[in-house]
């Protein structure tokens, strides 16, 4: 399979800190998102993987006849995943660290697992396989990019319960806490990592390249208008608890005049797909936001109030290369959310990832390069 090709370099400096003098890039970091790994091709493979330690999964995949990489309309099979890993290991060889902004598991994971194993979708077999598959994807990323901190955020499919159904304080969070902590660096995560990650999948980590900088990982699935905690309570308390935690972390960094990066999964603003499907009688009535109105307002006001502290926000979810600007009351851009393209081609996009250059003294990202795979049809 042909390697991922360079497609774009775009200057971010004009957006992130208007009026600031440009500095020479002295660092780099990679961003990957929406892998949506599908271990059910073929179903027999998943049945075998159930009883094999995840350290042996890659070797077991090689025992099956070679397949084509996943085509448009499908999530990421092993062939595509391995192609992406091989290319990332080359392109990001000199990167300081890697960010993953959510969606480790394939769409309809619980249904596919139940079908493959002949069990109920809420069975213990399905739940443990979701945990193990998520851990396999994280382990594969760290193996392809050894000795580089990997900052992992969770996406809407990252749950043993179902899409947008992560259970605060649940088993998925308990079982993945160690590998997420170790990927970021056990000596780098905040002292409250165990408490915050197990409570809702959010945490803070010392910036791997910027002195006194902090990367705050937010699980905004808890804030989604689609969120439903079907494996536990209603999740409302967990959503507001996360917002209070974020407020405290931002205030702490602002008091030190230090910088913050935000890593999350769902972009700010309007859900374009759902808005197009709404077919309302008027435009205002048909606009569908990604986040709940009560949470979104408080969250964006918090970001505005700390615009001088936050250097960038990184997300995924929509599978396309895009960005969102956050404006103040005067219409001035005060923050940017950079949306990274997906590895999964399920929505018809070519698999891609991005490599950024940055100034490690100011914490300011400067430029980025997109690499994408263009030959899925071969």
Give me the pLDDT at residue 281, please: 61
Cα(198)–Cα(237) distance, integer angstroms: 14
Give me the pLDDT at residue 141, please: 98
Cα(25)–Cα(23) distance, integer angstroms: 6
Q: Give the E-state strand segments of the chain in sequence order.
A: 5-11, 27-32, 97-100, 150-152, 203-206, 214-217, 260-263, 310-315, 322-327, 333-339, 352-359, 364-372
Q: For the chain, which ranges sit under pLDDT 70? A: 1-25, 65-66, 275, 278-285, 377-378
The pTM (predicted TM-score) of the whole model is 0.91
CA dihedral 145, 146, 152, 155 (to 10 degrees): 40
Per DSSP, what are the bridge partners of residue 270?
A: 289
Residue in the block written with tokens 């990367």: 215
What pLDDT digit, counting tens, does each position of 339-374 carry? 999 999 999 999 999 999 999 888 889 999 999 998
Quick check: helix, strand or coil at residue 6? Answer: strand
Give me the pLDDT at residue 300, please: 92
CA dihedral 110, 178, 30, 222 (to 10 degrees): 50
Helices (H), 201-235: none
Give me the pLDDT at residue 301, please: 92
Residue in the block written with tokens 């970001």: 303
Cα(228)–Cα(166) distance, integer angstroms: 8
Whether the CA torsion 161, 167, 171, 176 is positive or negative: it is positive
Cα(364)–Cα(49) distance, integer angstroms: 42
Cα(128)–Cα(143) distance, integer angstroms: 22
Q: What share of the chain is helix, strand, coil (3-state, %, to 5)?
A: 35, 20, 45
The angle that helices 171-184 and 193-200 make with each other, rounded to 10 degrees, is 140
Give me the pLDDT at residue 5, please: 59
């Amino acid at each position: 399979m042909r390697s991922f090709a360079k497609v774009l370099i775009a200057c971010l400096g004009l957006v992130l800190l208007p009026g600031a003098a440009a500095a020479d890039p002295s660092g780099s970091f990679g961003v990957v998102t929406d892998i949506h790994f599908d271990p059910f091709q073929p179903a027999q493979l998943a049945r075998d993987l159930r009883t094999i330690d995840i350290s042996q999964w890659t070797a077991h995949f090689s025992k099956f006849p070679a397949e084509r990489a996943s085509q448009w309309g499908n999530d990421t099979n092993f062939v595509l995943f391995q192609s992406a890993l091989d290319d990332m290991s080359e392109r990001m060889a000199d990167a300081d660290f890697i960010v993953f902004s959510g969606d480790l598991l394939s769409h309809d994971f619980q249904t596919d697992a139940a079908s493959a194993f002949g069990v109920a979708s809420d069975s213990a077999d399905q739940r443990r396989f979701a945990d193990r598959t998520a851990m396999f994807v994280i382990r594969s990323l760290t193996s392809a990019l050894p000795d580089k901190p990997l900052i992992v955020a969770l996406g809407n499919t990252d749950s043993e319960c179902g899409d947008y159904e992560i259970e605060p304080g649940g088993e998925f969070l308990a079982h993945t806490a160690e590998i997420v902590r170790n990927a970021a660096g056990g000596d780098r995560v905040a002292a409250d990592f165990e408490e915050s990650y197990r409570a809702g999948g959010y945490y803070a980590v010392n910036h791997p390249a910027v002195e006194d900088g902090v990367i705050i990982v937010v699980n905004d699935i808890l804030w989604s208008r689609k969120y439903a905690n079907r494996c536990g309570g209603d999740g409302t308390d967990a959503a507001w608890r996360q917002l209070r935690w974020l407020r405290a972390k931002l205030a702490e960094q602002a008091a030190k005049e230090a910088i913050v990066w935000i890593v999350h999964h769902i972009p700010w603003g309007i859900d374009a797909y759902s808005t197009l499907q709404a077919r309302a009688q008027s435009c205002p009535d048909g606009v569908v936001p990604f986040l709940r109105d009560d949470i979104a307002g408080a969250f964006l006001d918090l970001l505005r109030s700390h615009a001088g502290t936050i250097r960038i926000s990184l997300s995924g979810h929509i599978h396309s290369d895009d960005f969102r600007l956050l404006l103040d009351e005067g219409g001035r851009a005060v923050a940017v959310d950079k949306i990274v393209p997906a590895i999964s081609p399920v929505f018809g996009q070519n698999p891609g990832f991005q490599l950024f250059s940055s100034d490690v003294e100011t914490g300011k990202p400067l430029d980025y390069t997109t690499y994408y795979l263009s030959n899925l049809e071969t």
